[in-house]
A and B are shown apart, each in its own frame.
Chain A
């Protein structure tokens, strides 16, 4: 079993829909990251959080430390949001990130 599990693995939705991507982890963490990867490989950091909730534009990330669970929400989704979204955790005392397998999101016009 992977230390970081994401669901769903693939998600297709229509433009305007509310999107939720889930991440569960089995290890202790000092921080959790949500990352976006477009075709071609480039990875962009969306959020880094260790508690509560963060919002940036149409993106919202939440984390529940007790339940070892985080969600990434996208409101009013748009085709340009189509990408792979990756959850990654930083174990305490470590610098490296441990990644989930990613969720491939496709937003159709």
Chain B
């Protein structure tokens, strides 16, 4: 498809397990973002990649959260030793590189709904 693809759509894990969430951005999109959306709230920024470089990880809530984009395309968000408060929808978005100061829209995937039991 032409859009941002995330997998799995739903993930249930027991507290303490590690999980990995995948994002396939739109082909050619340089920028990739991860957001966390708690129930009933707006999304909150986690981390940002430009190509394979992780330029901003200020939103990652703890060192249990790790994101990578080794070849500048697919990205994986990993959460180690999951806790119940990690339950949320994890959204991935991609955009073309910022060009001469013009803002580019972000295209969102459908998200991965993570439930920690």
Interface segment, A11-19, A63-71, A74-82, A92-100?
A: A92-100
Nearest to B104 among chain A residues (CB) is A48
Cα–Cα distance between A100 and B37 once the two chains are bound (Å): 11
Interface string of B31-48 (1 = CB under 8 A from A): 101010100111111001
Determine chain B's interface SS by DSSP, over half rule: strand
Q: What residue in chain A is nearest B49 (Cβ atoms)?
A: A95
What residues of chain B lie closer than 8 Å to A35, measured between beta carbons?
Answer: 108
Interface contact A43-B98, CB-CB below 8 Å: no
Instruction: Determine which of A40, A41, A95, A99 lies in contact with B42 in the assembled complex, contact meaning CB atoms within 8 Å.
Output: A99
Number of interface residues of A (CB under 8 A): 25
Q: Which residues of A contact B27 (CB under 8 A)?
A: none
Interchain CA distance A43-B106 in the complex, whole Å? 10
Contact B108 A43 (CB under 8 A): yes
Contacts of A44 in B (CB 8 A): 108
Known: A41-B91, A86-B42, A100-B42. A95 touches B33 (CB 8 A): yes
- How many B residues have CB within 8 A of the partner chain? 30
| CA–CA, A58 and B111, complex, Å | 27
CA distance A99 to B81 in the complex (A): 28
What residues make up the interface of B, taking CB atoms closer than 8 Å to A? 31, 33, 35, 37, 40-45, 48, 50, 55-56, 59, 89, 91, 93, 95, 98, 101, 103, 105-111, 113
- The 20 listed contacts between A and B (C-beta, < 8 Å) are A4-B42, A30-B103, A31-B103, A33-B105, A35-B108, A41-B37, A41-B89, A41-B113, A43-B91, A43-B108, A44-B108, A45-B106, A45-B108, A50-B103, A86-B42, A88-B42, A95-B50, A99-B35, A99-B42, A99-B43
